Amino acid sequence: MKLIRHLFLVILALLIGCGMTVPPEADACVGKTLVVGALDTPQQQVLANMLAILIGERTGTTVKVVPAASHAAAHEALLRADLDMYVEYTGIGQVQILGAAPIADQAALYKAVKERYNQDLNLVWLEPFGFADQKLAPSGTVAEAAPVVRKDTLKKFPALARLINKLGGVVDQAAMQKLEAGVKGDNAKDVARKFLKENRLI
């Protein structure tokens, strides 16, 4: 009798466990690996790991950070579905990827890039992190950093956009400089995790 009762409790736990252990804002037991691309720079490594840790800790999904040789390579990998997301910059998206004219106004540039990516490429720009990389500012345009995600990835995980957008506006210029300065060797994951904890995101 005790054995039957034990088996019943185990089965019950398996049936309801996922929904009880995963935060309500994310899909439980998603059972898929998400792939985040990152260029080999401290900034890209920190931001990619920030995305990976946030998604992994809040949803239970396995998330891998993989290298990208360049912005163009990351974009092509995203189109091929080799990546689910990566961090891009509005100025690079407008000029290098879309081949369009530079736009000096930050809000207008983000709106233009977001609309073109959505309509022409089935890619979604989520909320900007909160800083613009002055080192990347392509011919008078700005370079505001934001996650770019495949539209079909967001359809598979409806709560993902809302979760990632918790990072929107959180990383200002001063915070990004501090994060970059903290990256030594391969510790970007630790730097990202510390930032998320300090901001109560995980």
Query: Are 170 and 130 within 8 A, CB to CB?
Result: yes
Query: Beta strand pairing status for 62-67 and 33-38?
Result: parallel
pTM: 0.84
Give the confidence band of 1 by pLDDT, cuts at 50, 70, 90: low
Classified as helix, coil or strand, 87 is strand
Residue 16 clears pLDDT 50, i.e. is over it: no
Whether residue 52 is predicted with pLDDT greater than 60 in this model: the reply is yes
pLDDT one-digit tens code per residue, 136-160: 767 567 899 999 999 999 999 999 9
Range 151-174 average pLDDT:
96
Q: What is the pLDDT of residue 142?
A: 85
Phi, psi of 142 (to 5 degrees): -95, 165
Interval 189-199: pLDDT, tens: 999 999 999 99
Mean pLDDT score of the chain, rounded to an integer? 87
Beta bridge partners of 36: 65, 85
Q: What's the confidence (pLDDT) of residue 10?
A: 46
Q: In the predicted model, is pLDDT for residue 120 greater than 60?
A: yes
- Amino acid at site 86: Y
Question: What share of the chain in percent tops pLDDT 90?
Answer: 77
pLDDT digits (tens, 9 = 90+) for 86-100: 999 999 999 999 999
Q: Which domains does the chain have, with CATH numbers?
A: 28-198 (3.40.190.10)
Average pLDDT rounded to a whole number, residues 106-124: 97
Q: What are the angstrom distances between the C-alpha of 111 and each of 63, 93, 106, 160?
A: 28, 12, 9, 21
Residue 180, CA distances (Å) to 15, 141, 158, 176, 177 in order: 43, 23, 31, 6, 5
Strand order through the sheet with 85-89: 62-67, 33-38, 85-89, 145-150, 123-125
Residue 20 has pLDDT above 90, yes or no: no
Rounded CA separation 7/14 (Å): 11
Measured at the alpha carbon of residue 56, what is the angle toward residues 54 and 59, in degrees to the nearest 5?
Answer: 95
Residue with token string 């996650």: 147
